[in-house]
Amino acid sequence: MARMKDFLSLHHVSREVLLELFDLASDVKRDPAHYRDVLAGKQLALIFEKPSLRTRVTFDVGMNTLGGAAIFLDYSQQLLGERESIHDVAKNLERWVHGIVARTYSHKSVVDLAHFASIPVINGLTDLLHPCQALADYFTLWEKFGKLDGLKIAYVGDGNNTCRALMDGAAKLGVHLTVVAPEGYEPEAVALEQARSVAAGNGAQIVLERDPVVGVQAADVVYTDTWISMGQESEAERRREVFMGYRVREELMAATGKRSLFMHCLPAHRGEEVHKKVIDSESSIVFDQAENRLHTAKALLILLLGSHR
């Protein structure tokens, strides 16, 4: 299997490694007992500035069921780098543990941690990117459809960290992605151009659309996320006004013209970005996504912390 030191973004992971991770995650999911001791004696540090359910639990459970141990470090009261420099945190942790998962506000904090640490660092979410979520999402679709090339996804809502990570993954995996967002809330131009440049070499298209009905036409999957991410609470009222027309309702799902799947990275706010009749319907695969966070986390841990290290 191909090697990599860190997992900070899907943009920096080759298509071949992503597909190998899918194969490994599928095998881990099918036969977990076969992998129960592969990380025996290994320790993982979990550095979290932000609240977490899926990321924290899946890496903790994943590490333990692979035979290792996870240590939670609560940075919610004092951000990484404030009490002690990121350099010194990295240099301490590399003497004690075999890997780090970091969930921070600033993307630079995770990049710096990976730069200074000789051990693998996994981006558990930053304000810029959520690559672990996108990895699980594309693995879920790979399971559902049997392939990813040519698949059509419509992402409806805020051009946030999840959206950017989905763009990076779509570009690498040959997925056509339409980002449907109001003006001023789309992904930054540099992120769009980066994804489009990679997509062109893999037969994919990354498109920006304002009209939700137009944007979802012929989509195999409709994906949305919260309108108000962590740290944006002061913008809540304004964001609800701006995004009201982007709520995923049954009518919008019908506008795809086919029996499309619905995805959401969770946590979800029923009645805001998605109607309960959509997220709780048979077309919704949100809990399959959530389950696969565990299997893809295990695959990442095996790849990065495996016995060769």
| Average pLDDT over every residue of 230-239 | 83
DSSP summary character for residue 244: G
Q: What is the pLDDT of the chain when averaged over all its residues?
A: 96
> Residue 196, Cβ neighbours under 10 Å: how many?
16
The reply to whether 265 belongs to the active site is yes
Which of these is catalytic: 11, 98, 103, 176?
103
Residue type, 161: N
Helix%, strand%, coil% for the chain, nearest 5: 45, 15, 40
- For the residues 236-246, what does the mean pLDDT come to? 93
Same CATH topology for 15-130+290-305 and 132-287? yes
Average pLDDT over residues 121-128: 97
Active-site residue flag, 132: no
Q: Is the pLDDT of residue 215 over 80?
A: yes
Q: For the packed helices 286-305 and 131-145, what is the interaxial angle rounded to 10 degrees? A: 110
Distances (CA, A) of 246 to 11, 160, 214, 216: 27, 14, 12, 11
What's the confidence (pLDDT) of residue 1?
58
Confirm if 233 and 258 have CB atoms less than 8 A apart: no
CB 35 within 8 A of CB 303: no
Active site residue 27: no
Indicate whether 233 pLDDT > 90.
Answer: no
What is the side-by-side order of every strand in the sheet holding 261-264?
206-209, 176-180, 152-156, 221-224, 261-264
**Catalytic annotation present for 225:** yes
Q: Is residue 59 within 8 Å of 70, Cβ to Cβ?
A: yes
Q: What is the pLDDT, as a whole number, of residue 2?
A: 60
Domain range annotation of the chain: 15-130+290-305, 132-287
Superfamily (CATH) of domain 15-130+290-305: Aspartate/ornithine carbamoyltransferase (3.40.50.1370)
Instruction: Choose the CATH number for 132-287 among 3.40.50.300, 3.40.50.1370, 1.20.1560.10, 3.40.50.720.
Output: 3.40.50.1370
Tokens 């809330």 sit on residue: 185
Q: Give the pLDDT confidence of 176-195 residue by residue, as tens digits.
A: 999 999 999 999 999 999 99
Given 54, 56, 137, 265, the catalytic residue: 265
